[in-house]
Structure 1
Amino acid sequence: MNRRNMLHALAALMGAGMLKVPSVAAAAQELVITTYGGSWEKFWRDSMIPAFTEASGEAVRLDIGLGRTYTTNLRAAGKENPPYGVLMTNEIYSTVLRKEGFFEKLDLEKVPNYADLYPIATRAADGWAAVGLISPIGIGYRTDMVETPPTKWTDLWDNPEFKGRIGLYNIVNSAGKMFLMLTSKIYGSGITDLDTGFARLAELGQVVQTDFNMSTAMATGEIVVAPFDFGEIARLRNQGLPVDCIIPEEGLMMWDQTFNICVNQPTRDAAYKYLDFVLSPAGQTLLMEEFLVSPVNRKVEVPESLARDVPVSGAAMEQFIDWDWDLMNANAEEIARRWNETFGA
């Protein structure tokens, strides 16, 4: 054996041996969880992961992306080799991936905090997942630019002050889809009566659409009323902007983050520990304090210091409307076309 062949042989032996090194093996078994970028990533790295690791002793690796990215990655990897242990994403994406077999039905014995969740956090997924984060969406408005504050969704049609100064999330955002179903429910036979929904949306006339950030248009006065995340209104108000947000008589929309456990992944026990921690009073309190979201665990009480910023809790958690994401996903292209025609996009 010459020197080159000997070096190659030694390298091969070292490579095989390295797989038995505990630190390398542990890395291969590390729980992979997901979140979004920006302030979400910072919070998970600085607060959520350290708190979970301290409570459980489990190591975690964070993957940053969006629902579309996660969907693509799961499909590319296949059900036998999922890249994630626990996937957090909106229910509109979870619904599709659940039907495709990427998630396991929850073993509730491993999730004791599941029993303490509000019904809104469990009923959509029916035991297959849990909503771990709820951002309620009510009607936000400029208190200094509106004489008659809104009390219900129909005020967007009926109050002449709002004409031409209404903001809406576009149809790419799940809040746009929810608003279409909401309109169909209020004015038609139910959330699936989209023909009536589109007809009534056309009566709103000119609206200001946004992909996600409604705050800029509200801050500049380009709009005076819009479907709005209570937490975002709280941040604007705490910065000195004259705004408020109300719970409409007909019910609330919400941005949800559903937590799903992927099938066939080697960190199943750690995944269940993480899910249970997110749903625990400790995990929910961390999320509430950081993002001003409504805690989904009934044992969490909103402190007086946050009562105005987090007004949706307790009995108000029954005000959320159930949505038909199967309908939205199955007709996504046609719905987008009709929406854009309605608002001249």
Structure 2
Amino acid sequence: RLVDDQGKEFNLLAAEKNNPTADICTVAGHRFSQFIDSELIAPLDTSRLKNWSTVNKVYSESDWSVVNGEKWGVPILSGAEVMGYNSEIVSKEEARSWDVMFGEKYKGQTALILQDMMSIVMLYLGYDGNMVAYLDDPAKAKSIVNEARDFLIKHKDKVRKYYDSGAEIQQMLINQDVVVCHAWSGSISKLIMDGFPAEMTIPKEGSYGFIYCYNIANNGPNTDNAYKFLDALLARPEIGANMTKASGYISTFKGSSKYLTDLERRTSSFTEEELAGLEFFRAEANKMKYSLVDPAVELIKAA
């Protein structure tokens, strides 16, 4: 089944938990804990994947990939929360800072994914948007979320739309309803590949990255075939390149970039300076974080 949201995927798997029909699902690394705690995905047995070494160790051996001493998925694509902009209207210098999203110049011509932007605003304000630093100080965590909430309410008049899907922001940029936005990198990368005058950047205040994985559904009907599929996927680096072409996200496969054109490589990579400001989403504080962020998001929408 095709879903466009991790929450919808979780609900589908949970509804079928006692009699699952899925063998493989796609879970972002920072959402692992939710699926693991609900027993919806199984630990990954890498010994059953003879091509496991195809995955770059930056992704296969990272801290986020291990929960409860086990690996839980095959990293396939890497993405980031970026600033996307129309390069014929917004200058590269303006796009160096998230400030441009909250100024008067492009008032009514910005868009963002509200829940994701809460983490970025916390980072922008000088805090840990993952909230791991505040696990032992819930009062501090609540104060920070309230500060981010109030900041976004204060600047709500700058935003044309809080949106949900990549296709939606692509269309708004094409129509020039929006000229600068917060977006997932794949959405903007695909626009650039298609010839639209767009650029994307990780602003100087920083942002967050995420990894999409293929995961084995717990108690799926065809687990042996699921492993065969994953191993076949890892067999050739050009498969990783094809996933980049289709999604706009960066392949985790070693050697995949040589199967991309110069334009495709440019649109699916960042400079060293940009990467220095990129942190990966982490899951340790998610329960506390989203118990605060979710109500804050609703208050911003209602304000």
How far the C-alpha of 1:225 sits from its partner, in A, is 0.8
Residue 263, structure 1, aligned to residue 218, structure 2: yes
1:275 aligns with 2:275: no
Of 51, 67, 75 in structure 1, the residue corresponding to residue 14 of structure 2 is: 75
How many Å apart are 1:100 and its aligned residue? 1.7
The count of aligned residue pairs is 276
Please, which of 64, 72, 94 is the counterpart of residue 149 of structure 1?
A: 94
In structure 2, do the counterparts of structure 1 residues 266 and 343 end up closer, same or farther at CA, with 3 Å as the change threshold? Answer: closer
The Cα offsets for residues 83-106 of structure 1, whole Å up to 9 and x where unpaired, read as 222112344654312112232221
| SS of residue in 2 equivalent to 1:96 | helix
Query: Quick check: 319-328 or 194-203, which moved more?
Result: 319-328
Which residue matches 2:240? 284
Match of 2:140 in 1: none
Report the alpha carbon displacement of residue 332 of structure 1 after superposing the two structures with TM: 4.5
Aligned position for 2:293: 335
Q: Helix, strand or coil for the counterpart of 1:269?
A: helix
In the alignment, does 2:170 pair up with 1:215?
A: yes
Matching residue of 1:31: none
**Helix, strand or coil for the counterpart of 1:84?**
coil
SS of 1:227's equivalent?
strand
Alpha-carbon separation, structure 1, partners of 2:251 and 2:266: 14
Q: Could you tell me which residue of structure 1 aligns to residue 191 of structure 2?
A: 236
Q: Distance in 2 between matches of 1:262 and 1:197?
A: 36
* Structure 2 residue aligned with 1:226: 181
Q: Classify 1:162/1:96 alpha carbon distance in 2 versus 1 (closer, same or farther; 3 Å).
A: same
* Counterpart Cα distance in 2 of 1:202 and 1:287: 38
- CA drift at 1:124: 2.2
AA aligned to 2:293 is I
Deviation at 1:128, TM superposition (A): 1.6
Task: Note closer, same or farther for the CA distance 1:262–1:317 as it changes in structure 2 (3 Å cut).
Answer: farther
The equivalent residue for 1:105 is 43
Partner of 1:205: 156
Residues 1:185 and 2:129 aligned together = no
Instruction: Report how far residue 129 of structure 1 moved.
Output: 1.6
SS of 2:95 mapped into structure 1: coil
Q: Distance in 1 between matches of 2:273 and 2:234?
A: 19
- Letter paired with 1:204: H
The structure with the largest alpha-carbon Rg is: 1
Are the structure 2 counterparts of residues 279 and 197 from structure 1 closer, same or farther at C-alpha, using a change threshold of 3 Å?
Answer: farther
SS of aligned partner of 1:285 = helix
Q: Is the 8 A contact 2:23 2:216 kept in 1?
A: yes
Of 298, 309, 322 in structure 1, the residue corresponding to residue 254 of structure 2 is 298
> Counterpart of 1:22?
none
Higher RCO (CA-CA < 8 Å; seq separation 6+): 2
- Residue type of the alignment partner of 1:216: Q
- What amino acid does structure 1 have at the position aligned with 2:164? D
Alignment partner, residue 132 of structure 1: 76
Deviates more, 1:229-238 or 1:284-293: 229-238
Deviations 1:211-237 (A, max 9, x none): 211122222322221113444334434
1:25-36 matched pairs, under 5 angstroms: 36=2
Q: CA offsets per residue over residues 146-175 of structure 1, 9 Å max, x none?
A: 254311334434x54233432111xxxxxx
Distance 1:268 1:143 in 2: 47
Match of 1:215, SS? helix
1:194 aligns with 2:145: yes
Aligned to 1:24: none
> Which residue identity lines up with residue 124 of structure 1 in the other structure?
W
Return the alpha-carbon distance in structure 1 between the equivalents of residues 27 and 287 of structure 2.
15
Give RMSD over aligned pairs.
3.3
The alignment-based identity, stated in percent, is: 16
Cα 1:146–1:313 change in 2 (3 A) is closer
Question: 1: CA distance between counterparts of 2:46 and 2:272?
Answer: 23
Letter aligned with residue 88 of structure 1: T
SS of the residue aligned with 1:106? coil
Distance 1:282 1:243 in 2: 26
SS at the partner of 2:224?
A: helix
Q: Is the 8 A contact 2:76 2:252 kept in 1?
A: yes
Residue segments in structure 1 that go unaligned for 5+ positions in a row: 1-33, 38-64, 170-175
Cα pair 2:188 2:198 within 8 Å, conserved: yes
Matched to 1:336, the amino acid is D
Q: Return the offset for 1:255.
A: 5.8
Report the equivalent of 2:268.
310
Post-superposition offset of 1:254:
4.5
> Unpaired segments of 5 or more residues in structure 2?
132-143
Counterparts of 1:71 and 1:88, CA distance in 2:
10
